[in-house]
Chains A and B, each alone.
Chain A
Amino acid sequence: MSNTSSALRIVWIYPDLLSTYGDQGNVLILKRRAELRGIPTEIVHVHSSDSVPEQGDIYLLGGGEDRPQILAADRLRADGGLARAAARGACVFAVCAGYQIIGESYGDDEANPLPGVGILDIRSTRGQTRAVGEIVADVEPALGVGRITGFENHQGRTAIGPQARPLSTTVKGIGNDDRTEGAYQGQILGTYLHGPALPRNPQLADLLLRWRVGQLNPLPPAWGERLHDERLAAALR
């Protein structure tokens, strides 16, 4: 660690439990968009048997099936590292099952409420139907991200408490509750856009980087922007 203290430290939490479908994409795209701007990065993989380091810049949590989700939440609560990092002001980006467990509570497969890590003021329960398909949402204008698209595949419904704000307004798909999608509180951000949410939304990836390093040089539009526009057009067709 000593010689990389200037690098942006990206911590991928529990790839063995919370990496169901393409979550690696978020790690890869943050690394690439940072390095294209000359910002060195260090990637740390934290397995469920390891303790979570507190000195990270961006913590990533992916999606997971019901049982791995419960295991991940229990281990994160027992470990305490993620909560301490969040209290220090680190950025956390969590998708789907990861989004639910960083909240105050979430529902298991029999709709019993279970305690979350408690770093984002949201409460999730199990809905009647599964939300599966392309989703489109308009992000809170103050964040400068614009319209995001992704794929959702979850049964959770999420209520946002007074400490957090909705990340976006749902245009197509379900998100939290048919009206809003995702939530944020300081630099803690969660979304139901599962898997490669950041590859599909380069502006969202840049928001997280901006939170850590300040103003960013713009990058020339490439395949990420093209995919974003293409999926947006397809979803709204």
Chain B
Amino acid sequence: MSELPLRAQLASVLGRSAASLSRATGRGDGSVIGGRVALKVEPDLLAKLAQGRRLALVSATNGKTTTTRLIAQALREFGDVATNEYGANMPTGHITALSDNKSAVNGVLEVDEKYLPQVLKATNPSFVVLMNLSRDQMDRASEINLLAKKWRTALAQTDTHVIANADDPLVAWAGLGAPNATWVSAGQRWKEDSWCCPECGGHLKRETDPHWECPECGLARPRATWAVDNDNDVLVAPDGQQIKLRMNLPGDANRANAAIAAATAAGYGMHPERTIERLREVTSVAGRYTSVVTMGVEVRLLLSKNPAGWLESFAVLDPPRVPVILAVNAQIPDGKDTSWLWDVDYTVLRDRRVFVMGERRTDLALRLETDEVPFEVADRVDEVLAKLKAERPDITKVDVIANYTAFQQIRTAYGRVQ
């Protein structure tokens, strides 16, 4: 990329110093404070740092950190990649990611849904990668219909190329605003936020999944050139080639993330077969999907923050003999409103041992009681493990599904125990 103007260079240096200080004093990973300091010195810094690069912006309700990581992993085939892999997904985080890697021509930035129009305008990216939109932390997040409309409008004002999930009506409608698009049939398990036409409000016809169409205005699912075949664990490329996925990240949601990543990497000129090989190298993303061994039991940590995420996590649970711990908090990063617990169907848990934990475990308890799922209440993971081991000394595995701060608490407590 070209040399930065002096003021932008200074801004960038100051930002990086602040970031180092933040890390050295143990106050954070520096992604946010560094960007904040730099922006004070040069408000156009993000645009300047983005110039001359081939950027992909990645946004969605769920899977944006993972997909960003997957795309970056693939693009490292060509050399350095500038990316915000710690999930600092607002402009300050983007500035830090680009400042930290000035020479990288390729970049992949995870973008918070609300900030997408602004970052799109500032960075003029080659690709915008969109996966899904569903209800999430509604006490502080935007309404998703409004969000989709803002995406659509912003995309229409660019010459960017969208790579998007055709199976999510809200995402597809937003993506159809862009001048160019590659459509991926990545699937949609959670459909409760897309029964109505984003264009006119009509009740969508969704008879043969993944097809959808509006009988009132005619809006319909765009034809996809890439597809995931979950039953056969296969990615179908535009030329019809079937590529076995065999990902090390679990579940259909990660097959969808991999397909989107492969379609994006293809935009950079990478062959999908090679992309998938590189994606298999990823075994955990910022602690997600990590297993920690504690008290001789393998504890797998699944982060899920909203109804769509919980539904995906239920689908990747180990066989019923493996117990599951559900942990829910309602701090600001989680959303202070636990109403979403009522949107999920828990009856699939009836045949397994279930424990509830976290600051809002009473909400979970009532929810499970209502669905007639037997459960036990617990304070800590090690207490559950001790109880299970006392009953069944040969127990080897436990799954944990937790929302954001509950996940962080468990990870801090057990993440380093081997």
Q: Which A residues are within 8 Å of any B CB, using their own CB?
A: 15-17, 19-25, 28-29, 32, 47-49, 65-68, 71, 132-134, 151, 153, 194-196, 199, 222-224, 226-227, 230
Tell me which of B201, B340, B365 contacts A21 (CB under 8 A). Answer: B340
For the complex, is B362 an interface residue (Cβ under 8 Å from A)? yes
Tell me whether B362 and A227 are in contact (CB under 8 A): yes
Q: How large is the interface on B (under 10, 10 to 19, 20 to 34, 35 or more residues)?
A: 20 to 34
Q: Which residues of B lie under 8 Å from residue A226 when comparing CB positions?
A: 362, 365-366
Tell me which of A20, A47, A65 contacts B195 (CB under 8 A). Answer: A47
Complexed CA–CA distance, A227 and B362 (Å):
6
12 contacts between A and B (CB under 8 A): A16-B203, A20-B135, A21-B138, A28-B370, A48-B196, A66-B145, A67-B201, A151-B338, A195-B337, A196-B339, A223-B366, A227-B362
CB-CB nearest in chain A for B372: A32
Complexed CA–CA distance, A132 and B338 (Å):
13
Q: Which residues of A lie under 8 Å from residue B338 when comparing CB positions?
A: 151
Q: Which residues of A lie under 8 Å from residue B201 when comparing CB positions?
A: 17, 48, 67-68, 71
Binary CB contact string for chain B from 369 to 382 against chain A (1 if under 8 A, 0 otherwise): 11100000000000
For the complex, is B202 an interface residue (Cβ under 8 Å from A)? yes
Complexed CA–CA distance, A114 and B363 (Å):
36
Please provide the chain B residues from 260 to 275 with a CB less than 8 Å away from any CB of chain A in the complex: none
In the complex where A20-B135, A20-B138 touch, is A65 in contact with B366 (Cβ < 8 A)?
A: no
- Expressed in whole angstroms, the minimum distance between the Cβ of B219 and any Cβ of chain A is 15
Complexed CA–CA distance, A222 and B368 (Å):
12
Tell me whether A25 and B342 are in contact (CB under 8 A): yes
Please provide the chain B residues from 194 to 227 with a CB less than 8 Å away from any CB of chain A in the complex: 195-196, 201-203
Tell me whether B138 and A16 are in contact (CB under 8 A): no
In the complex where A29-B370, A65-B146, A132-B139 touch, is A223 in contact with B337 (Cβ < 8 A)?
A: no
CB-CB nearest in chain B for A225: B366
Tell me whether A71 and B196 are in contact (CB under 8 A): yes
Tell me whether B342 and A28 are in contact (CB under 8 A): yes
Tell me whether B203 and A48 are in contact (CB under 8 A): yes
Please provide the chain B residues from 283 to 334 with a CB less than 8 Å away from any CB of chain A in the complex: none
Q: Which residues of B lie under 8 Å from residue A67 when comparing CB positions?
A: 145, 201
- Expressed in whole angstroms, the minimum distance between the Cβ of B375 and any Cβ of chain A is 10
Q: Which B residues are within 8 Å of any A CB, using their own CB?
A: 135, 138-140, 143-146, 192, 195-196, 201-203, 336-343, 362-363, 365-367, 369-371
Question: Could you list 10 further interchain pairs (A-B, Cβ under 8 angstroms) beyond the known A19-B343, A47-B195, A49-B202?
Answer: A17-B196, A20-B135, A22-B342, A65-B146, A153-B138, A195-B337, A195-B339, A199-B367, A223-B365, A230-B362
Q: Which residues of B lie under 8 Å from residue A47 when comparing CB positions?
A: 195, 203
Q: Which residues of B lie under 8 Å from residue A15 when comparing CB positions?
A: 192, 195
Complexed CA–CA distance, A153 and B195 (Å):
23
Q: Which residues of A lie under 8 Å from residue B203 when comparing CB positions?
A: 16, 47-49
Tell me which of A66, A68, A199 contacts B366 (CB under 8 A). Answer: A199
Tell me whether A22 and B202 are in contact (CB under 8 A): no
Q: Which residues of A lie under 8 Å from residue B365 when comparing CB positions?
A: 223, 226-227
- Expressed in whole angstroms, the minimum distance between the Cβ of B359 and any Cβ of chain A is 10
Complexed CA–CA distance, A21 and B340 (Å):
5
Tell me whether A222 and B342 are in contact (CB under 8 A): no
Q: Which residues of A lie under 8 Å from residue B196 when comparing CB positions?
A: 16-17, 48, 68, 71
Complexed CA–CA distance, A1 and B291 (Å):
51
Tell me whether B195 and A16 are in contact (CB under 8 A): yes
Tell me whether B139 and A153 are in contact (CB under 8 A): yes
Complexed CA–CA distance, A209 and B29 (Å):
54
In the complex where A16-B203, A48-B203, A66-B143 touch, is A227 in contact with B366 (Cβ < 8 A)?
A: yes
In the complex where A16-B196, A47-B195, A223-B369 touch, is A21 in contact with B337 (Cβ < 8 A)?
A: yes
In the complex where A22-B343, A68-B201, A71-B196 touch, is A133 in contact with B336 (Cβ < 8 A)?
A: yes
Complexed CA–CA distance, A125 and B203 (Å):
27
Tell me which of A32, A65, A195, A223 contacts B342 (CB under 8 A). Answer: A195
Tell me whether B145 and A68 are in contact (CB under 8 A): yes
